[in-house]
A and B are shown apart, each in its own frame.
Chain A
């Protein structure tokens, strides 16, 4: 469904992504794990057009989307829940969700999508008139995910959804990700929490300093000595 081929990204003189290739097959959860600064966020941002790669090719459902503008890519059914949630803190919850469906002109469909989000995240319904900035960390993550779901993406990129959350909330978020996937959304999940990510994923990639150093079946990666040593604490 998504294919990234030999992508290079620079920030000025900094060579942040040094030839990353990866594939996300339809219907799967693929995870990209790695330490802080490895290049995970840069990879996701390049896929959704927020950063232009110096070279390489990105195709989504067979179409070349390299260098395409982000709104065009979102329109094709690919969106991202960014690192740090990036909700619109000074707007109420419902307005954040409305913005998630910005490209949809059909009011009825938007209302349905919002209803679906509220059903999936009942806490957002309770707080729909509250300013997004006043929500707790977990609720903000749910809002960020709900907002992305408003555009009914076929491929959802998630950047460290567990960041800063308590273990109980992390579990809840991961079970929602799994559920989303079971209901048909393909997922590319970026995580530092390697164990959790690999336990729900089908495939995994390990990134180090802008390169993929390991790739394979998630279960196998979970067992591999390199991953155990570097990411699972022994």
Chain B
């Protein structure tokens, strides 16, 4: 029971990271039906920006988080404009291959810029451990990860449901032509979606830097794939699905490690992917509907 509760706490922290990255996957898929495989690398760039702000500029946590989110939002829009917009009407496979190209470009471009060496995040938030109910431990960093994640999710829900750009995003993802007839600028809306998704990934990158302390240019690959699994698990294109899928995946992974099977931690995510694709391909929150034509 104690292992279970402890791993639940750890799993929620890890799951927050997956959920934040998964949101970007799912929002972008929802609006342009593209699996943006470069998304995990935007998370990596976000971590480096957090490192730059804290280690080099000496900024505290919150301003560093904001800087990273803003710069990655711009990066996301630039990637969309340069790499994906020209392929809007091309076959999907062309966009998918381009996404892989962008991913490699970001990974090896970053290596060229900062070397492949692992960087250690400065101790912007010295770790404090709190004991709960006997031997359960929760750290201040875990609390911050959860608080920041929940705050960002609430902000996202507000944007998507209450603001004009959020309404435009939902309209465009439902029907681009009808959205245009409402006077909605589809290009701007898609751009905003990339910006928001990338900013969330950047936040995840900074949080991971603070939680695990170490970052490197290839750090986005595995979490990127797992966040993709989380998005599919929840139902790709569905925002609450990505949130739930992220937390679930984080918790399952933490349980697998906690019960002494850490070697199976990575495979378990992909086993989940295979099972969900067989049993309920639309995901936990998805309705099994025919593909729109």
Q: Which residue of A lies closest to B170 (CB)?
A: A91
- Across the interface, do A88 and B181 meet the contact criterion of CB distance under 8 Å? no
Complex CA–CA separation, A74 to B168 (angstroms): 15
- Across the interface, do B183 and A88 meet the contact criterion of CB distance under 8 Å? no
Is the C-beta of B182 less than 8 angstroms from some C-beta in chain A? yes
Complex CA–CA separation, A158 to B234 (angstroms): 39
Apart from A74-B182, A87-B178, A99-B179, 8 more pairs, CB < 8 Å: A49-B180, A69-B185, A80-B181, A82-B178, A88-B170, A95-B167, A102-B168, A102-B182
- Across the interface, do B181 and A74 meet the contact criterion of CB distance under 8 Å? yes
- Across the interface, do A86 and B175 meet the contact criterion of CB distance under 8 Å? yes
Kindly list chain B residues whose C-beta atoms are within 8 Å of the C-beta of A86. Answer: 175, 177-178, 181
- Across the interface, do A50 and B170 meet the contact criterion of CB distance under 8 Å? no
Contact with A along B164-202 (1 / 0, CB 8 A): 100110110011011111111100000000000000000
Quick one: which of A175-204 are within 8 Å of B by CB?
none
Main secondary structure on chain B at its contact with chain A? helix
Complex CA–CA separation, A98 to B171 (angstroms): 11
Kindly list chain A residues whose C-beta atoms are within 8 Å of the C-beta of B182. Answer: 74, 99-100, 102-103, 147, 151
Complex CA–CA separation, A109 to B177 (angstroms): 25
Complex CA–CA separation, A71 to B180 (angstroms): 6
- Across the interface, do A75 and B183 meet the contact criterion of CB distance under 8 Å? yes
A20 smallest CB distance to B (angstroms):
20
- Across the interface, do B183 and A103 meet the contact criterion of CB distance under 8 Å? yes
Complex CA–CA separation, A79 to B182 (angstroms): 8
Complex CA–CA separation, A123 to B166 (angstroms): 27
Most A Cβ at <10 Å: residue of B167, B171, B183, B185 = B183
Complex CA–CA separation, A99 to B180 (angstroms): 10
Kindly list chain A residues whose C-beta atoms are within 8 Å of the C-beta of B184. Answer: 71, 99, 102
Complex CA–CA separation, A82 to B167 (angstroms): 20
- Across the interface, do B185 and A71 meet the contact criterion of CB distance under 8 Å? yes
Is the C-beta of A148 less than 8 angstroms from some C-beta in chain B? yes
**Contact A89-B174, Cβ < 8 Å, known A71-B185, A102-B183:** yes
Tell me the B residues contacting A by CB distance below 8 Å: 164, 167-168, 170-171, 174-175, 177-185
- Across the interface, do B181 and A48 meet the contact criterion of CB distance under 8 Å? yes
Is the C-beta of A90 less than 8 angstroms from some C-beta in chain B? yes
Q: Which residue of A lies closest to B175 (CB)?
A: A86
Q: List 18 A-B contacts (CB under 8 A).
A: A49-B180, A50-B180, A69-B185, A70-B181, A74-B181, A74-B182, A74-B183, A80-B181, A86-B175, A91-B170, A91-B174, A99-B184, A100-B182, A102-B182, A102-B183, A103-B183, A147-B182, A148-B181
Kindly list chain B residues whose C-beta atoms are within 8 Å of the C-beta of A75. Answer: 183
Contact with B along A89-129 (1 / 0, CB 8 A): 11100010011101100000000000000000000000000
Kindly list chain A residues whose C-beta atoms are within 8 Å of the C-beta of B185. Answer: 69, 71
Contact with B along A53-79 (1 / 0, CB 8 A): 000000000000000011100110001
Q: Which residue of A lies closest to B185 (CB)?
A: A71
- Across the interface, do B171 and A99 meet the contact criterion of CB distance under 8 Å? yes
- Across the interface, do A79 and B167 meet the contact criterion of CB distance under 8 Å? no
Kindly list chain B residues whose C-beta atoms are within 8 Å of the C-beta of A69. Answer: 180, 185
